[in-house]
Amino acid sequence: MTPIPPHPPETAQTLNLTINGRQVSAQAGETILEAARANDIFIPTLCFLEGLSAQGSCRLCMVEIAGSAKLHPACVTRIQEGMEVTTETERLRDYRRNIIELLFSERNHVCAVCVASGHCELQDLASELGVDHISFPCRYPTLAVDASHRRFVLDHNRCILCTRCVRVCAEIEGAHTWDVKNRGIRSLIMADFDAPWGDSETCTGCGKCVHVCPTGALFEKGLAVAEMRKQRPALPTLVANRATEQR
């Protein structure tokens, strides 16, 4: 994880750049994503969540920068004076669609029976990007559902490994109950020493992980299809409050 250092306020300097041909200005140290969002320019994201460290892993926020042949993840790329950013091209859209399709193909996403249907970022992005079928063969891995916790459930079938849960637990709650085990295509979210969630000795039961989870992988017990509405905790406020209290 790469925590982006906080912007140095004293040296804050306004930079001018263009995004999709539009002149915008933003503070030095801000990322392309921050500058775009401040100007209501939509860039799709999944792993990014304001208030958590950005890790640039879902690759949905890739944008083009004039003068560079490579694509750049908007969530971790800092703006520069005179930068010309393009967030929407047919090529970018194709890559984004392919990435969404890869995610759907990786595990067993069945929107029709998912608690988070209608409130799921993966489902929304598929819609937004016009993904109307999955062109790659689905892998159909056999994955467990961990319902050992008193209040919450972890369904690996719906997990996209964005690690928001890992980061919110480590960075905000300070418990670091979650982490990733194994690697590559065999990666899985797990608690403690791979314990059932209900047996975790570090989990505080705060539920932040459930509410930052973009899909139905983490949800509250007792809910039926489409009933799990995620209430994103106001993470930047939490961070700011804590900093004030601890001063």
Partner 1 sequence: MTQREALQQQAEQRQQVLDAFSHHLLVCAGLGCLHNDEIIKALRKEIAAQGLEQQILVRKAGCMGLCALGPLVLVLPDAVYYQTVTPQDAGEIVAALGKEPVQRLLLPADLPFFSKQQKKVLALSGRIDPENIDDYLAAGGYASAVNAITAMSPPEILRIVGESGLRGRGGAGYPTGLKWATVAQAAGERKYLICNADEGDPGAFMDRSVLESTPHAVLEGMLIAAYAVGAHTGFIYVRAEYPLAVKRLQLAIREAERNRLLGQGVCGTSFDFTVQLRLGAGAFVCGEETALIESIEGRRGTPRPKPPYPAENGLWGSPTLINNVETYANIPLIIARGAAWFAAQGTEQSKGTKVFALTGRIKHAGLVEVPMGMTLREIVFEIGGGIPDGHAFKAVQTGGPSGGCIPAEHLDAPISYESLSALGSIMGSGGMIVMDDTSNMVDIVKYFMEFCMEESCGKCVPCRVGTAQIHSLLQKFCDRQASADDLAALETLCDLVKTTSLCGLGQSAPNPVLSTLKYFRQEYLDRMADPSGPHQEGQL
Partner 2 sequence: MPTPPSDLHLQDKRWETIDRVMRRHDFRQDALIETLHAAQDAFGYLDADTLRHIAARLKTPPSKVYGVVTFYNHFKTKPKGEHTLVVCTGTACHVKGNDRVLAWMEEHYQLKPGDTTTDNRISLLEVRCVGACALAPVVIADGSIIAKKSLAESTAMIREWLNDAA
Partner 3 sequence: MKKLRFATLWLDGCSGCHMSLLDLDQRLLDLADMVDFVYSPLVDVKIFPEGVDVACVEGAVSSAEDEEKLRMVRRRTGLLIALGDCAVTGNIPAMRNVLGGQKILQGVYLEREHLNAQIPASHLPALNEHALPLHRFVPVDFFIPGCPPSADTLFAALGALVAGRAVDLPALTRFGA
From the list partner 1, partner 2, partner 3, none, pick the one residue 56 interacts with, judged by a Cβ distance below 5 to 8 Å according to partner type. partner 1
> Is 46:214 a contact under the CB 8 Å cutoff?
yes
Closer to partner 2 by Cβ: residue 137 or 184: 184
Determine which helix (DSSP H) or strand (DSSP E) holds 240, and give its type and residue range.
helix 235-246
Gap between the Cα atoms of 213 and 198, Å rounded = 18
> Is 43:74 a contact under the CB 8 Å cutoff?
yes
Residues in contact with partner 1 by the rule CB under 8 A: 2, 55-59, 62, 70-71, 73, 76-78, 95, 98-99, 102-103, 105-106, 135-137, 139, 160-161, 180, 182-187
Whether the CA torsion 192, 123, 1, 4 is positive or negative: it is negative
SS3 at position 32: helix
Site for partner 3 in 56-115 (CB under 8 A): 104, 108-114
* Of the candidate residues 139, 181, 221, 229, the single one contacting partner 2 (CB under 8 A): 181
From the list partner 2, partner 3, partner 1, none, pick the one residue 193 interacts with, judged by a Cβ distance below 5 to 8 Å according to partner type. partner 2
Gap between the Cα atoms of 85 and 95, Å rounded = 17
Q: Which of 173, 182, 205, 179 is nearest to 191 (CA)?
A: 179
By CB under 8 A, residue 27 contacts partner 3: no
Q: Name the phi and psi angles at 73, rounded to 5.
A: -70, 120
* Of the candidate residues 4, 57, 202, 223, the single one contacting partner 2 (CB under 8 A): 202
By CB under 8 A, residue 143 contacts partner 3: yes
> Is 155:113 a contact under the CB 8 Å cutoff?
no
Closer to partner 1 by Cβ: residue 106 or 220: 106
Structure tokens at 192: 């403690």
By CB under 8 A, residue 2 contacts partner 2: no
Size of the site for partner 2 (CB under 8 A): 18
By CB under 8 A, residue 134 contacts partner 3: yes
Q: Name the phi and psi angles at 166, rounded to 5.
A: -60, -45
By CB under 8 A, residue 143 contacts partner 2: no
In the complex, which residues of this chain contact partner 2 (CB under 8 A)? Answer: 170, 175-183, 190-195, 201-202
The contact set with partner 3 (CB under 8 A) reads 104, 108-114, 117-118, 123-124, 126-128, 130, 132-135, 137-138, 140-143, 226
